[in-house]
Amino acid sequence: MSRATKTLDNSKKSSKKRAEYTVINRFLSDLLRKNPDKHPADEYDHDPIEDISDML
């Protein structure tokens, strides 16, 4: 019985992840649709040193 419960829990987790990815993808698509001339990478101020310090 515990294996069945574990399997059901895993399917719930994966469906939640899929739903989350769908929401994120829709949000990003809407952003691109609203601002077709702007690329998200152009808006990002990339500072590799800051990225490394944030990871620590």
- Whether the per-residue pLDDT at 1 is higher than 60: the answer is no
- Residue 28, C-beta contacts closer than 8 angstroms, at least 6 positions apart: 40
- Which structural domain range is residue 29 located in? 2-55
List the structure tokens of 54: 């944030």
| Residue count (the chain) | 56
The long-range contacts involving 44-47, CB below 8 angstroms and separated by at least 24 positions, are none
State the pLDDT confidence band at 50, using cuts at 50, 70 and 90: confident
**For residue 43, what pLDDT is reported?**
67
User: How many distinct structural domains can be found in the chain?
Assistant: 1
What's the mean pLDDT in 16-27? 90
